[in-house]
Structure 1
Amino acid sequence: MQNQAQKRLLLLLKLLYEQTDETRFVSAADILRYWERKGIHANRKNVYSDIQLLMDDGHDIICVKSTQNRYFIGSRLFELPELKLLADAVASSHFITQKKSAALLQKLARLTSTYNAEHLRHPVYMEGMTKPDNETIYYAIDALQTALYRKQAVSFQYYEYTTEKKKILKHNGYRYLFSPYALVWNRDFYYAVGWSVKHGKLAQFRVDRMTGIQPADAVYIADTGFDPVGYVRKVFGMYHEETQQVTLLCENKTMRSVIDRFGEGVDTMPVAANCFRAVVNVAPSPPFFAWVFTFSGAIRIEEPTDVLAKMKDMASWLVE
């Protein structure tokens, strides 16, 4: 009898989480029919007492009162908009294979009702998006995260491509000794940052090009002064120069792009009916100049003159 009651309770929980949401409900009669199909014989009193048990256990079961009360699951671990964001991130990720993406999306779908799960199956289209075929990156990330947690050195091999697009191990299969400090996500790729014995300094490696990662007997070389935020900004943003104040003359149509790059707090002022000035703090580096180039003159550097001169020098190779 106790086993029957436990099974009844588990089936009720399954029904509510899979078949109900804010727009779809079940009545006591629906629950009794569901139990009957599963070989459980019960009555309305069982429905009410079991629902109360689940509510006492913390499940958010909402009762819509009417001539025949109806029930649905209210709040869940993840709300539908949150699941949509996660599903889009999985579907569009460059390093997750097509097979793994499908498996992860199926698991995410189990966190909502079967009806809402349909909202997670619409693909995200991204220009030029490619998916890898190799799933070993998941194990590489796991090995590196474990090493980070344990502050343990690892060894690995690294590969590159020939002109025939064939993978080959660098330096004839040389095993790098590496003390990982951080994992960095940049432009849809994972990078491991840490101390490389071969280079004798901080270095970063693309995780999807690392292979044969394993714990090493070598001593972990720590760096208490390592600043991951500063490192990412300097190396991955290629900001090898100090930031300085730069004045830009911008056509009105570029306001959205200026805000996207520098935030809503960017200092701007109208100049004429069709343009404005923006004063920004930026490192005068190739990524910044490349950004200015994309607007074909709709954004121009006004001052300081030395920054404008650097941009002209960078562009000079185009006319040589």
Structure 2
Amino acid sequence: MPKQEGQKSKLLTLLRILEQKTDEEHLLNVPQLVELLEQQDILAERKSIYSDIDTLRSLGYDIQLRRGRGGGYWLASRTFELSELKLLVDAVQASKVVSARTSSKLIHKLEALCSDYEGTQLQRQVYVDGRPKSDSHTLLYSIDALHSAINAGRMVRFRYKDDGTRTVSPWQLAWENGCYYLIAYQDEKEPAGIRNYRVDRMSSVTVLGDARRGKAEFRQFDLPAYLRKHFNMFGGPEHRVTLRCTADLESAMRDRFGKTPLFVPEEDGAYFHFDVPVCVSPQFYGWVCGFGGKVEVTAPAEVRKGIHDMVQALAKQHD
């Protein structure tokens, strides 16, 4: 092997050793680095290691030295902190639409971004009810195709659940309740408008040559606001709803609706009320009922009647 090529190989191998075998708790001294290089059939003199480390430092790698007994070198800075990788791993494991097999593959790739020792800490266990049992590449391919269409400003066609083929104009992707959703404009059926589709229920996603439509509808589109008013991403007629809540639910309401609504406390301090836009659906009614009487819809009358009728029907069904 020519000397220059061999030097490049040694530098890359040394960097890989530092990436995989060192962290703040696990250091390697020069003799240990020489030995690890020799295990990969690369001969190195001790003095050349110092020069190689200086070269790697000049290239921007944060290689630190701890002197004294038990000291040595370690790679101090990485693209991701261990805490950030743990957060990513938890997000992958908590996803209901990522199969166990795909989750394991993704986590294995994340492990490569830290040392071998830190990688063992990434095998965290987050229980997910409803994770798909069989592996399918359809979801990843669909996400990739949808991103391509959004970036290119093109329409897409896909099969959706068992409900035939859809042709829509994709604008955004959103993550909500552990699922990926496509936010798109559709004008195949009346009424035309903004719709959402679960990506894991799509198949055969095809990017079309036609320019996407719906620019006017998405010019001032506010995705966080859209997510807040759609309960479990179900659509329905939009109303400005007044909710009356017990005082202990203020944090829960902020988590759901954000900082925008003005919470108005009542005189006794036991309740507060506020107005929010909501796409009224059975899922919204179910959300209200889930608070066990601590949340009341006080307006408008038709929404109040809707929840009353649903509760009456449930009571009759369970009589």
- Which 5+ residue runs of structure 1 have no aligned equivalent? 161-169
Match of 1:318 among 307, 314, 319: 314
Cα shift readout 1:209-265 (whole Å, capped 9, x = no counterpart): 322222335453242331152544455364743445533225x5x566455445689
- d(CA) in 1 for partners of 2:205 and 2:300? 49
- d(CA) in 2 for partners of 1:262 and 1:215? 35
Query: Which stretch shows the higher mean deviation, 10-19 or 176-185?
Result: 176-185
CA displacement at 1:152 relative to structure 2: 1.4
In structure 2, relative to structure 1, the CA distance for the partners of 1:73 and 1:189 (3 Å cut) is same
RMSD (Å), alpha carbons: 3.1
Give the corresponding residue for 1:166: none
- d(CA) in 2 for partners of 1:260 and 1:109? 32
1:279 aligns to 2:284 (yes or no):
no
Give the corresponding residue for 2:296: 301
- d(CA) in 2 for partners of 1:32 and 1:223? 61
Cα shift readout 1:14-62 (whole Å, capped 9, x = no counterpart): 1111011111111112112212222333223212111111111100111
Give the corresponding residue for 2:18: 16
Give the corresponding residue for 2:157: 155
Match of 1:36 among 32, 38, 48: 38
- d(CA) in 1 for partners of 2:8 and 2:210? 53
Give the corresponding residue for 1:241: 238
Cα shift readout 1:56-83 (whole Å, capped 9, x = no counterpart): 1100111112257511111110111111
Alignment of 1:1-320 (within 5 A): 1-66=3-68, 69-131=71-133, 133-160=135-162, 170-171=163-164, 175-200=165-190, 201-202=192-193, 203-226=195-218, 227-229=221-223, 230-235=225-230, 236=233, 238=235, 240-250=237-247, 257-258=252-253, 260-261=255-256, 267=263, 276-283=270-277, 285-286=280-281, 287-297=283-293, 299-301=294-296, 306=301, 311-320=307-316
- d(CA) in 2 for partners of 1:95 and 1:146? 21
In structure 2, relative to structure 1, the CA distance for the partners of 1:128 and 1:263 (3 Å cut) is same
- Which 5+ residue runs of structure 2 have no aligned equivalent? none
In structure 2, relative to structure 1, the CA distance for the partners of 1:132 and 1:277 (3 Å cut) is farther
CA displacement at 1:98 relative to structure 2: 2.0
Contact 2:98 2:131 in 1 (8 A): no
- d(CA) in 2 for partners of 1:10 and 1:302? 65
Contact 1:239 1:283 in 2 (8 A): no
Q: Which one-letter code corresponds to 1:176 in the other structure?
A: R
| Equivalent position SS for 2:32 | helix
CA displacement at 1:91 relative to structure 2: 1.6
Alignment identity in percent? 30
- d(CA) in 2 for partners of 1:304 and 1:178? 35
Contact 2:30 2:46 in 1 (8 A): yes
CA displacement at 1:94 relative to structure 2: 1.7
| Equivalent position SS for 2:25 | coil
Q: Which one-letter code corresponds to 1:294 in the other structure?
A: G
Contact 1:95 1:132 in 2 (8 A): no
Q: How many residues align?
A: 303
CA displacement at 1:315 relative to structure 2: 1.7
CA displacement at 1:193 relative to structure 2: 2.9
